[in-house]
Amino acid sequence: MRFPEGFTWGTATSAYQIEGGHDADGKGPSIWDAFCQVPGRVAEGDTGQLACDHYHRFREDVALMASLGLKAYRFSISWPRVMPTGRLEKGSIKREGIRFYSDLIDALLEHGIEPWVTLYHWDLPLALQTERDGWLNPEIADDFEAYARLCFEEFGDRVKHWITFNEPWVVTILGYGQGVFAPGRESNVEPYIAGHHILRSHAKAVQCYRSEFEHQGGKIGITNNCDWREPLTDRPEDHEAAERALLFYLGWFADPVFKTGDYPEVMRERVGDRLPEFTDEERRSLLGSSDFFGLNHYTTMFAAGASKDGAEQSVYGNGGISEDQEVDLSVDPEWELTEFKWAVVPWGCRKLLKWIADRYGSPAIYITENGCAMDDVVLPDGTVDDQDRLSFYRGYLEACHQAIGDGVDLRGYFAWSLMDNFEWASGYKFRFGLVHVDRQTLKRTPKSSALWYSDVVRANELQGEAPSRCLG
């Protein structure tokens, strides 16, 4: 199973999950630094203060990537590391933070690894939250634009792929709706306000890049997360529920950018005046404001018209405010589950890719995250023979290959994650990495899946038959 020539193969991480150095060289606190200090918020009281110590060991990590033959690396910049207060004020830029990312980018390029940079992966400067209500404040769009401009100025001569936001759904629903992620707020109104200003911020950053930095010759886009929703039965109400769930989940942030410049009509109908309005100028700036479709995908669930008590909604959560959707979600008890209790359903990935292609006019798609947490058994020599993770990747890459055969313009795949790291509210309990990180010594050891994945990358860069260890 060979992928198209030029297909991008890489892995992904985020700043707070791996960097550590939480206050090194003048870095300001983020909302996750504060959230982790609240008792009971994070499993076993874990924090990202040290994480994988990537801030001090990045050269070792880049050398590891190179040894695996990786061709691309997606990472995020910590906004408070380069701009501690989150605002462009006198003396507000930390040159030490700028130097760290500049050195990281140079190290990647020296090893032939293409940097893909995410501007926002959830670690908002704490000052913006405590002093200005974070993503609830309309003025944050100007702050984000100033931060983005700084990054374009400092790194854009070498970075050719930018992602403005990672998973706005998580920021809004888990951070402002359910309160299980930073900043820990609970509301059925605030998620829509926060999401609105995230989209406005995205549009401003893209306008800035295209108007002031076009000469850099790069691409810029946004990454959304979405799991597939399969109708539970052939009943029309279940098909309608599945489509409605996808629109509240992915359409919420994708329709304004890729289709209409506005939210899906079903959201307007059901959310009413809790859903903010874009100005005509904002609609124009949003539509077409992404050069590619970034997708993070992990699992699949069945969708059905909601039962009266809505019990399944509270059990499984939803891609939006559940009471606004009226969708019940469930899983097949026969499906294999990861340690994270997410179902392994490769065919759902194929269906979702086709749905995106059909709804949004066949955009260039990059899977910017896909992976699984498994119960890694460490052998005496420190290695992990993770056959379950191997099976996961094999199944999902086969589904990706099939989607390309269906006519989907899929151009890249980033495995989540490079190494075991801080998994947000779950702390260090779950391990998504291709590389095992010993929590005592922080020693990195590639797992079997990492070696297999590197073989896949290399095989798809060569002519002729792929090695037997690869997809086939």
Contacts of residue 133, Cβ cutoff 8 Å, sequence gap at least 6: none
What is the pLDDT averaged over residues 32-43? 98
Residue 470 lies in a domain: no
Asked, for residue 422, whether it belongs to a domain, the answer is yes
* 334 is a domain residue: yes
Quote the DSSP letter at residue 424. Answer: G
Task: List, for residues 256-284, the tens digit of each pLDDT value.
Answer: 999 999 999 999 999 999 999 999 999 99
CB atoms within 10 A of CB 407: 11
CATH code, domain with 369: 3.20.20.80
Contact 330, 312 (CB under 8 A): yes
pLDDT > 90? residue 469 = no
Confidence category of residue 16, pLDDT binned at 50, 70, 90: very high
Tell me the percentage of the chain whose pLDDT exceeds 90: 91
Q: Is residue 471 part of a domain?
A: no
- How far CA 36 is from CA of 16, 310, 360, 425, in Å, comes to 11, 31, 38, 8
Quickly state the pLDDT bin for 318 (edges 50, 70, 90).
very low
The residue among 187, 186, 184, 171 whose CA lies nearest residue 36 is 184
Query: Residue 238 has what pLDDT?
Result: 97
Confirm if 372 and 432 have CB atoms less than 8 A apart: yes
Question: What is the arithmetic mean of pLDDT over 233-243?
Answer: 97
- Note the pLDDT of residue 102: 98
Q: Quick check: 321 pLDDT over 90?
A: no
pLDDT digits over 409-418, tens only?
999 999 999 9
Averaged pLDDT of the chain = 94
pLDDT per position as a tens digit, 323-336: 899 999 999 999 99
Residues identified as active-site: 167, 369
| pLDDT surpasses 70 at 23 | yes
Tokens encoding 324: 């606004």
CA 141/CA 208 separation, integer angstroms: 12
Q: Which residues of 347-374 are buried (b: 16+ CB within 10 A; e: fewer)?
A: ebbbbbbebbbebbeebebbbbbbbbbb
Residue 465 lies in a domain: no
Query: What is the mean predicted confidence (pLDDT) over 32-38?
Result: 98
Q: Is 1 among the domain residues?
A: no
What confidence tier does 243 reach under pLDDT thresholds 50, 70, 90?
A: very high
Are the C-beta atoms of 71 and 9 separated by less than 8 Å?
Answer: yes
Tell me what pLDDT residue 320 has.
57
Confidence of residue 314 (pLDDT cuts 50, 70, 90): very low
Residue 17 contacts residue 423 (beta carbons within 8 Å): yes
Q: Looking at the domain assignment, is residue 472 inside a domain?
A: no
Residue 469 inside a domain? The answer is: no
Are 30 and 78 within 8 A, CB to CB? yes
Determine the structural domain holding residue 433 and report its residue range.
Answer: 8-459
Residue 94, number of CB atoms within 10 A of its CB: 18
Are residues 116 and 292 in contact, defined by beta-carbon separation less than 8 angstroms?
Answer: no
pLDDT tens per residue, range 83-129: 999 999 877 899 999 999 999 999 999 999 999 999 999 999 999 99
Question: What's the domain count of the chain?
Answer: 1
Q: Residue 461: its pLDDT value, please?
A: 85
Report yes or no on whether pTM surpasses 0.85: yes
Strand partners for 329: 303
Nearest of 181, 160, 162, 185 to residue 170 by alpha carbon:
181
User: Residue 316: pLDDT above 50?
Assistant: no
Instruction: Please tell me the predicted confidence (pLDDT) of residue 309.
Output: 56
Segment 31-43 shows an average pLDDT of: 98
**Are 119 and 165 spatial neighbours (Cβ–Cβ below 8 Å)?**
yes
* pLDDT mean over 353-366: 98
